[in-house]
Amino acid sequence: MPSWLQHKIRRHPRIRECLLPWWLGYLDLRWRLICASRRPVLYRAGNVTVRLHPEGQIAEQLWKGNFESLERNFVEAYLKPGMRVVNVGANVGLYVVMASTLVGHEGEVHAFEPSATTYARLIRNLELNRCRNVSANRAALSSASGKLFLRADPMHPSYDGHRFVERIEAVDHPLDSDELVEALTLDDYFGSLRPRELSTVELMIVDVEGAELAVLQGARAILAQKELTLLLECTKHQDAVESFLAELGYRFWSWNDERRRLEPARFREQAKRHDVIVRRSAWEAPRQWQAQS
């Protein structure tokens, strides 16, 4: 939509109310045509260009709107060449591809996605963007290794971004759509690597639809690292997650995109609006980065 028209619509709510259904219908039609063509879609994530196959809910949301723009801008500002990134709940790979590009060949990205269908899409997007510094794992992360059921959101069963895990013993009647998946702890995963490969994790991105506490409980050794930063979506057990992280010395922040710096935030209030940024100390983008932006 042209910028002049967007400005006019913002100033006249009644025009917006009349045009919005038509605009959404137009976007839906164009998305269907894009999916039918099977051609990759280019997305701008700050100064990073990401190509994604038109498959899945995340790719559609990105195309139709400004999906997690604040979180993407923080990731672009924070990451630099040589860093190590963990993406838990990688989905089709938006943040994986971004991180792979930003950390370069000297850095590395470890991605975890348990769904067979979504993992296949992730691999296709990694190949599309020639991401050679990514270790992709078809697994869930939890507080203990073993098996879990991956389940669809009963309210939105077609949403591939809303799948969640449950313990096997908690499921009385498995559904045909349930998927039995491998579960690991992040500490076990890194503990299995050769010693020379072990190094600091600078950024951990977590989007696991309610399993946040279990993921963190299985990552105590990683969380002990002093310079770790988390970008955390927290939809359940917010009090427990906040207490768990606070006891480890973490503080909670929001990203001020205009000033390019972290600002103190209240965990539960921030979790309602955006992802919570979790780290022990304040941070702001280097001046040279601010000058470039």
Could you tell me the residue range of the domain that residue 99 belongs to?
63-144+186-292
Torsion on CA atoms 150, 74, 51, 3, rounded to nearest 10: 120
Mean model confidence pLDDT for the chain? 88
pLDDT digits (tens, 9 = 90+) for 244-263: 999 999 999 999 999 999 99
Q: Is residue 53 part of a domain?
A: no
Q: Is residue 270 part of a domain?
A: yes
pLDDT recorded at residue 162: 74
Residue 111's H or E segment, with its range, is strand 108-112
pLDDT recorded at residue 27: 83
Quick check: 267 and 242 in contact, CB under 8 A? Answer: yes
Quick check: 54 and 62 in contact, CB under 8 A? Answer: no
Q: Is residue 233 part of a domain?
A: yes
Quick check: 73 and 98 in contact, CB under 8 A? Answer: no
How many structural domains does the chain have?
1
Question: pLDDT band for position 102 (50/70/90)?
Answer: very high
Q: Is residue 70 part of a domain?
A: yes
Q: Is residue 272 part of a domain?
A: yes
Question: Sign (positive/negative) of CA torsion 58, 101, 254, 90?
Answer: positive
CATH number reported for the structural domain that contains residue 134 in this entry? 3.40.50.150
Residue partners of 251: CB distance under 8 A and separation at least 6: 264, 278, 279, 280, 281
pLDDT digits (tens, 9 = 90+) for 56-66: 888 888 887 77
Q: Is residue 287 part of a domain?
A: yes
pLDDT recorded at residue 195: 58
CA distance 115 to 156: 16
pLDDT digits (tens, 9 = 90+) for 32-52: 898 998 889 888 776 688 888
Q: Is residue 84 part of a domain?
A: yes
CA distance 184 to 135: 15
pLDDT recorded at residue 278: 98
Q: Is residue 151 part of a domain?
A: no
